[in-house]
């Protein structure tokens, strides 16, 4: 137990430094950060989740989350305005620190997920890679993916923990815990999708875990899928209630047909940004294929396809 705690503390300390040090100095401010800040302040002022009437770019949870944190902290009114020096940059310091804290929590979740699925040594390596590798630096920015990630990882962790409960002697109490975990996992994934839609590609992974660890129970899989489907439906339902469904459709179409980049070009670029992690990841994917590790394959392949075809993801890395 003591060894496991030490293995966890080391990556947490490292990720605290790499994601909290000089929050507004590195990386430089990216245009999308201003967009999400504007939307959050729009919600904070009580003007509703949609800041423009005719363009639906992404669901609403990202601005709800930031606005909620800002409300609790009294932001931006709590900032010292006695000096105008670096005033614009100072507006971003609290949300940048928030992104860093989320990254620390992500490191913890990555450790626990890997420990549950494999072992503590593998968990240490995985969390260390997330803590220090260059490609993870984009998690320092105020982006929807960085708000989304802890909810996604928590959903996976709940699904994995379901396996531990299922191995215990069945009782009324354990059955209640299993149902609660299934619902929590579904709620967390639903919130993650409600933050940014492309993460729906992880549905096969978490659905596979729920189905496998619930003794192939279709009832529990169906229960899990209810919040996964219903929570993201809030977005189109909002547009229907405000007679803007056509604008919502146009926004979704605009996002889905955004220009991508060639696969070879993206791989070449990623090898320049973080060659060590890309090579390790590719090697691990080959090993997962040989070992038929569905946990890795269901996670990696859909996300890899989404990331490599995303012009936006490349723009994030370029801006570093």
DSSP string spanning 16-48? HHHHHSSTTTSSPP-HHHHHHHHHHHHHHTTS-
Name the DSSP letter for residue 171: -
Please report the pLDDT score of residue 309 as a whole number.
47
Mean of the per-residue pLDDT values of the chain: 84
Which sign, positive or negative, has the C-alpha torsion 29, 32, 34, 37? negative
Please report the pLDDT score of residue 232 as a whole number.
95
Please report the pLDDT score of residue 315 as a whole number.
52
Listed residue (136, 250, 252, 261) closest to 197, CA to CA: 252
pLDDT tens digits, 102-125: 999 999 999 999 999 999 999 999
For 101, residues 6+ apart whose C-beta sits below 8 A from its C-beta are: 20
Average pLDDT of 172-183?
81
Count of other CB atoms within 10 angstroms of residue 132 = 15
pLDDT score of 85 more than 50: no
What is the residue extent of each domain of the chain? 258-320
What is this structure's pTM? 0.88
Please report the pLDDT score of residue 214 as a whole number.
85
Residue 148 CA to residue 16 CA, distance in Å, equals: 19
Confidence of residue 74 (pLDDT cuts 50, 70, 90): confident
| 123 CA to centre of own chain | 19
């Amino acid at each position: 137990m003591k060894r496991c705690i030490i293995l966890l503390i080391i990556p947490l300390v490292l990720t605290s430094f790499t994601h909290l040090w000089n929050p507004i100095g590195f990386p430089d401010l990216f245009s999308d950060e201003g967009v999400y800040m504007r939307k959050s302040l729009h919600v904070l002022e009580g003007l509703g989740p949609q800041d423009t009437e005719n363009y639906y770019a992404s669901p609403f949870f990202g601005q709800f989350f930031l606005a909620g944190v800002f409300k609790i902290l009294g932001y931006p009114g709590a900032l010292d305005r006695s000096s105008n020096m670096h005033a614009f940059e100072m507006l971003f310091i609290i949300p940048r620190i928030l992104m860093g804290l989320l990254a620390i929590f992500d490191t913890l979740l990555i450790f626990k997920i890997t420990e549950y699925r494999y072992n503590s040594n593998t968990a240490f390596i995985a969390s260390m890679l997330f803590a220090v590798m260059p490609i993870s630096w984009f998690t320092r920015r105020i982006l929807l993916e960085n708000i989304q990630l802890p909810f996604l990882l928590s959903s996976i962790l709940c699904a994995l923990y379901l396996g531990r409960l299922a191995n215990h002697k069945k009782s009324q109490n354990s059955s209640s815990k299993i149902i609660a975990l299934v619902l929590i996992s579904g709620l967390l994934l639903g919130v993650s999708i409600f933050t940014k839609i492309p993460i729906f590609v992880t549905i096969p992974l978490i659905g596979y875990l729920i189905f496998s660890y619930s003794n192939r129970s279709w009832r529990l899989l169906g229960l899990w899928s209810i919040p996964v489907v219903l929570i993201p439906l809030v977005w189109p339902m909002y547009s229907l209630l405000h007679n803007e469904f056509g604008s919502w459709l146009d926004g979704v179409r605009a996002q889905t047909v955004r220009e991508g980049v060639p696969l070879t070009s993206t791989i070449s670029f990623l090898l320049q940004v973080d060659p060590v992690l890309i090579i390790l990841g590719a090697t691990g994917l080959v090993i997962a294929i040989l070992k038929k590790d569905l946990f890795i394959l269901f996670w990696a392949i859909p996300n890899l396809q989404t990331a490599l075809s995303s012009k936006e993801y490349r723009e994030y890395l370029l801006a570093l």
